[in-house]
A and B are shown apart, each in its own frame.
Chain A
Amino acid sequence: MHQILKTTLDPVHPNPREWPIYKISQNKEAFLGEIKDLTRSKILSKIHTEKELNDMLGKVLYAERIRLTQKAWKADPKDEREFWGNIKNELLKINIEELPDEISPESPNLAILNKIMERYANEIVGNFKPAMYEFARTTVAVLVSKILNATPSNRFKFWRTQKTLDEKVIITGELDKIRKLAEDATIVVVPTHFSNLDSIIMGYIIDRIGLPAVTYGAGLNLFSIGLLNYFMSNLGAFKVDRRKKNNVYLELLKNYSTVALQNGVNGLFFPGGTRSRSGELEKNLKLGLLGTTVEAQRNLIAQNAEGKVKKIFILPCIINYHFVLEANGLIEDYLKSTGKDKYIRENDEFSTSYKMLKFIIKFLFAKSDMIMSYGPLMDVIGNTVDDDGNSIDHMGRKVDIKDYFKIDGDFKINIQRENEYTRMLERSIVDKFHTHNTMLTSNLVAFTAFILMRKMFEQLDLYAFLRLPNEDTEIKYADFEKSVEKIREQLFILEKNGKILLSEEIRLPINELIEHGLKNLGMYHTEEVLQINENGNVVTGHKKLLYYYHNRALGYQLEKYA
C-alpha cells in the first residue's frame, strides 16, 4: 500500500550490533580476504600466462605513476610514491624469460598483484561504529533541526508555525512492505541523483523508515573534507577514488559491493553514476555496479541452490527538490558537452565543508518541502515482489528467482546472461524513476513556461534560443495559465494510469498552483528563474536554469499539451 510518512519510524532491527554492516566491520580481515580472493580468481580467469599478468601489472603501475605526477591530492597517503616505487623495482627484478608460462602459486607476479590488492582493499574499506551511528542519528539530527528552521516539538510557541524536519521531508512509498521485507532480505537503494546533498538526505531518509545503515561508495575527495571524513569513515561508507581507472582497482571495487551484498549488508549507490547534468531523470544507468547485485544474488543461489535463498531487493528512490543549488554549474556542463558526459568539473560547489554547510543551512531555512518517493521493491531481474518477497513478473505471476540462473534445468554461471539481466534491471529502474517521480508545482510551471517560450522561436536551435534576451520571451499570463491547466489535466490521466505521482499542491486551484510553483522554483538562485513582471506577464530571469528545471518533466510526452 502506498503510504505518506511525516514522522520517523522505529528501526526494523533495533540493535546496530546485529547489523551485517557492523559484523563485516568487526571481521574486516575475513571480509577483505573474501574480496581479494574473488578479485584474484576473476583476474586469473581472464589472464593465463605470466607474461600477460606481468603486462597487466605494468599497466597498473604506469597508470598509478601518471596519477601520482598529474593528479596528486594533498589527502593522498604519504607513502604513495614509496609504495609504487617498490612495486616498480620488484617488477623490474622479474625476468619473464625464466618463468614458466603458466602462473604458479609462487609466481612473483602474483605476489605483486596480492600486494597491490592488499593496499587497495585497505584503502577502500569503511568502518562502522554503532556509537558513531547513534550519535549521528540522534544528536546531529536533533541539533541540526533545532538550530535551523525545523522545530523538534510543539513546546515552543514561537516555533509552532514552522514545520518539523520530518514534516519538511515527506516520504512516500510502500513503507510497511519495505520494512517487513528488510527484516530478512538485503536492500539496495538506488536513488536518482541531482545534487551533492543527495547522499546526506539519503542517509537521513533511509534511517527515517527504519532500515539498517547502508554501505555506499563515496568519492575519496569527500574524505579529504575534515568533518565529513570523520563521520563517513565510521558510518560504513567505502572510499571510491575516481582517479584510479586500472583493472585491478575497478575489479576490487565491484567485488567489494558484491561481497558486502552477499554478506547481507544493505547498499546504496547512485545508478546514474554522477549527478544528472541536464536536470532530466536518468535514462541510462551505470551497469558495472548495478551488475554486482545480479552477481551477488547468483552467488547466494549457488550457496543454496535447492533451499530458501536469501534475496537481494532493489529499492528505487526518487528525490524531488524544488531547487538544486548546483543547477547552474550542472546545466553549463551539460550544454558544453551537449549531452555527453565527457566534461566533468573536478572542483564544484561542495569542495569545502564550509560551502556544504552553507548549502545545508540554506536548504533547511527554506520554506519549501522535499518529497522522497520510494518506488516498489524489485528483485535483481527487475520483477516486482509481493508482500512475502516472492518475485512477481510482468504477467503478475509468481516466479522463482532461481529459474533465471538455470539452463537446461541446471544452475549454471554465465556472465553474458547476467549482463543481459543487468540491462533488464536497468530498464525497470528507469521505468520506476518515471512512474514514481512526484511532479512538483515548480516542475510544472518551469516545463510549461519553457515549452511556450521555445515554441515562439521554434526555428532557432537550442543554443541560439538560450542566448536570446529574456524580454524577448515574455509570455502572457492567460496563455500560461491555460497551458498549465491543460498539462495538469494530462498529468491527472498519467497519475490515474500509474505513470507518475503528483504532489498535493498540484491539485490546488490553478492560480494558487502557479503561485506556489513560481515561489518555490529554484528559490536560491540569484536570479528569479521565473516570475511575473509589472505587465502581468511571465518572464524568466535565467533561461538556462529554466531549461534545467523544465528537463525534469521530460519523458512523459507532455510537450504537445502546452
Chain B
Amino acid sequence: MHSTLNHRIGVIGAGSFGLAIANLLAEKNQILLYTRKQEKAAELLSYQQNKTGKFIHPNINITTSVKDICENCTVLFPIIPSTKFRDMVKDFSPFLNPGHIMIHGTKGFDLDVDINNYYTISRSNIKTMSEVIREDTSVVRVGCLAGPNLASEISAGKPAATVVASKFDEVIDLGQRYLRSTKFQVYGSNDIFGIELAGVLKNYIAIASGAISGMELGENAKALLITRGMAEMIYVGRALGATPEAFMGMAGIGDLIATCSSPNSRNYSVGMRLAKGEKVSDILGSMAEVAEGVRTIQIVKALSVHYQITAPIVHVMYRVMFENLSLEKGINFLMRYPAYTDAEYLIKPKSDF
C-alpha cells in the first residue's frame, strides 16, 4: 500500500460539489485539487490559509497544472459542468493512460448538436460523461457518483449517501474506500448508464418541484409531481436503453427527493424563482453556477419527440421556459393530467402516461 501522503487522488473542478467531494476525500487522504484559473486557485488558497470564506481541508493542495495532477494522481474525480466537460477531457487526455481511473460527479449530457437548433434528437446524439471520457481518453475504467448529494449539506457535515457506479468492481471498491465515512454512505452499482441517466433526468423534475413550492400548492401536489416525475424518468430512460432498476435507488428516487425539496438545490431554486415571477433570462443570468436542469429540459423534450414518449412534465416545463407559457397554466395542466393506473411502469413495459 502506498503512503496516503502521496497525492494519489485528484479532484478536477472546484465548484461547490467539487469542493464538497474534495473535502470529504481529504479526511483520509492527501488530495490534489485542480482548477483551471490562477485567480480561482489563489482565492482557494487564501481561504485555506486564512481559514475564512469556504472551508478548504488542510490535506488539499491546489494546482492549475493538468500535467501535475495527471502525473501525481491515478484516481481522478472530475466534477465540472456538463457543457465544459468535453473540453476538460480533451485538455487532460494527452496526460492520461489506461492506468488512470476516473469517477465523475457531473449530472448532465454531452451533445453533438446545438440543442437550440434541433427539434428532435436521439440516443446517438447524446453522450453521458463516462462515455465522453471513454471516447476522448485512453482511460477505460470509469465510474460515476450520483445520489442525494446537496453540496451545501455535505459541506456542513450532515449525513448523506451516494452511489458509485462502474462496470468495474475495483472502481466501485476504490470509490467506496476513499469516500466512505461515518457521515457519508457509499453504495455500489454496475449499471453505470442507468445511474448516470437517473442523475441527469431528475434535474428538470427538481425545477418543476421548485415551481410548485413557489406557488405554494402544498405537499400533496409536490408528492404527485415527484411520483409522476419518477415515472417520466423511467420512460425516457427506457427509450434510451436503461432498465428501471437504477431509478429506484439512491441516484433515482434518493436524489429526486433531496433535490425536489431543498432550496439548496440550484435546479429547485430556478423553479422557485420562476414561481415568484422572475424571467428565465434573469434567473439564468444571475446564477453563479449552472443549473443543469434547464439544458436537460431542452434535451429531454427533443428526445421525447424522437421516441414518441408521453412526457407531460418536460413538455410543460419547456413551454414555460422557452415559449412563454405562464407557469400557473402549465402547472395546472400537469395537476389535472388524466390518471389511469398507479405505478404502471412496474406492471407493463409500455403505457399511456
Contacts and interface: CB of A to CB of B under 8 A. Distances in A.
Main SS at interface, chain B = loop
Contact of A395 (B137, B169, B174): B137
Contacts of A400: 97-99
Interface residues of B, number: 19
A414 interface: yes
Interface stretch (A188-196, A405-413, A470-478): A405-413
A420 B75 contact: no
B158 interface: no
Interface string B160-182: 00000001111000100000000
Contacts of B138: 393, 395, 397, 399
Nearest to B167: A420
Contacts of A381: 98, 140
A115 interface: no
A416 B101 CA distance: 16
A424 interface: yes
B141 A395 contact: no
B79 to A, nearest CB: 20
A417 interface: yes
Contact of B169 (A406, A408, A409, A414): A414
B66 to A, nearest CB: 16
Interface in A416-445: 416-417, 420-421, 424
B99 A417 contact: no
B32 to A, nearest CB: 14
A409 B74 contact: yes
Contacts of A397: 138
A404 interface: yes
- The residue in B97, B99, B168 that gathers the most chain A C-beta atoms within 10 A of its C-beta is B99
Contacts of A399: 97-98, 138
B136 interface: yes
B84 interface: no
A69 to B, nearest CB: 42
A426 to B, nearest CB: 14
Contacts of B141: 417
B262 interface: no
A407 B101 contact: yes
Contacts of B98: 381, 393, 399-400, 403-404
Interface residues of A, number: 20
| Chain A, interface SS category | mixed
Contacts of A393: 98, 138
Contact of B170 (A395, A403, A417, A424): A417
Nearest to B9: A408
B174 A408 contact: yes
B16 interface: no
A403 B2 contact: no
Contact of A403 (B8, B99, B174): B99
Contacts of B137: 395
B189 interface: no
Contact of B8 (A395, A408, A412): A408
Interface in B132-147: 136-138, 140-141
A336 to B, nearest CB: 28
A403 B136 CA distance: 17
Contacts of B170: 407, 412, 414, 416-417
Contact of A406 (B8, B93, B99, B174): B99
A409 B3 CA distance: 12
B352 to A, nearest CB: 26
A421 B98 CA distance: 12
Interface string A532-544: 0000000000000
Nearest to B137: A395
Given A393-B138, A403-B98, A408 B74 contact: yes
Contact of A409 (B2, B93, B168): B2
B150 to A, nearest CB: 30
B174 A417 contact: no
A554 B97 CA distance: 36
Contacts of B97: 399-400, 403
The residue in A399, A400, A420 that gathers the most chain B C-beta atoms within 10 A of its C-beta is A420
10 contacts: A393-B98, A395-B138, A399-B97, A400-B98, A406-B99, A407-B174, A409-B8, A417-B169, A417-B170, A421-B140
Given A408-B2, A414-B170, A424-B140, 9 more contacts: A395-B93, A400-B99, A403-B98, A403-B99, A406-B99, A409-B2, A409-B8, A409-B99, A417-B141
> When A and B form their complex, which 6 residue pairs have the shortest distance between CB atoms, in order from nearest?
A403-B99, A403-B98, A416-B169, A406-B99, A404-B98, A393-B138
Interface of A: 381, 393, 395, 397, 399-400, 403-404, 406-410, 412, 414, 416-417, 420-421, 424
